[in-house]
Amino acid sequence: MSERTVDRNGEWRALTEAWAATDDAEGAEVATPHGALDSLRRRAERQRRRQIAVAVLEWLLFAGLLVLTVVVLRGGAAAWELIWLASLWGFTAVAMGFAWWNRRATWRAAGVALDDYVRLARLRAERQLRTVRFVLALFAVEVIVVVAQLAWFDRLVPAAVAALAAAAAVIVSWCVVTRRRLDRDLSRIDAFRRNAH
């Protein structure tokens, strides 16, 4: 073993000792006391409640669409109402199909190898970016179809135009904010992968 190797091994031993001492630097608790476990339980419960809220909201939207359909059909729907309902269900089906297709192969277990996890993180970010593009495209097509229908049936009133403009503002804002966040995430992931390989 050369003198240089011995020297480097000594340096690394010192570094390892310095690293091991980071744990003492904060007066670490080695075991998890019950208080910490309670705090974890509360955190898990908050996350669970958020997930339930999102699921409930999705079901409420779907139920709302069903109720709207029943109400319109029971009152003896006019031709424009039937076409409007059909397009609404059509767009809903397309959106649900896309959501299902776009989520495939993105589930990741927490305990997978680190490289696989980062690869999946990139795939998920790419899919979310695709969702942003899809939402914009779907909304644009929806606006064209709805405006054409309203104009055809002579119902393009200012209130309808204002509603469409408000929806456009909300959707475009969401797309811009989400796109910005995803671009940042992707550049971080790519920088990580560049440095790792």
Binding site for other proteins (CB under 8 A): 11-12, 14-23, 25-26, 28-32, 36-37, 39-41, 43-44, 47-48, 109-118, 121, 184-185, 188-189, 191-193, 195-197
Q: Nearer to other proteins by C-beta: 77 or 118?
A: 118
As measured in angstroms, the least distance from the Cβ of 56 to other proteins is 19
As measured in angstroms, the least distance from the Cβ of 72 to other proteins is 42
Q: Nearer to other proteins by C-beta: 58 or 115?
A: 115
134 within 8 A of 75, measured Cβ to Cβ: no
As measured in angstroms, the least distance from the Cβ of 164 to other proteins is 33
Instruction: Establish how many alpha carbons lie within 13 A of residue 70's alpha carbon, considering only the half-sphere containing its beta carbon.
Output: 6
- The total number of residues written for the chain in this structure: 197
The closest alpha carbon to 140, from 106, 178, 91, 99, belongs to 91
Q: Nearer to other proteins by C-beta: 110 or 159?
A: 110
125 exposure class (CB count in 10 Å sphere: 0-12, 13-18, 19+): buried
* Strands (DSSP E) found in the chain: none
Q: Nearer to other proteins by C-beta: 129 or 143?
A: 129
The torsion of the CA quartet 100, 104, 106, 109, rounded to 10 degrees, works out to 100
The closest alpha carbon to 171, from 150, 149, 141, belongs to 141
As measured in angstroms, the least distance from the Cβ of 115 to other proteins is 5
One DSSP character per residue, 133-180 reads HHHHHHHHHHHHHHHHHHHHTT---HHHHHHHHHHHHHHHHHHHHHHH
As measured in angstroms, the least distance from the Cβ of 26 to other proteins is 7
Q: Nearer to other proteins by C-beta: 32 or 92?
A: 32
Q: Nearer to other proteins by C-beta: 146 or 189?
A: 189
As measured in angstroms, the least distance from the Cβ of 122 to other proteins is 10
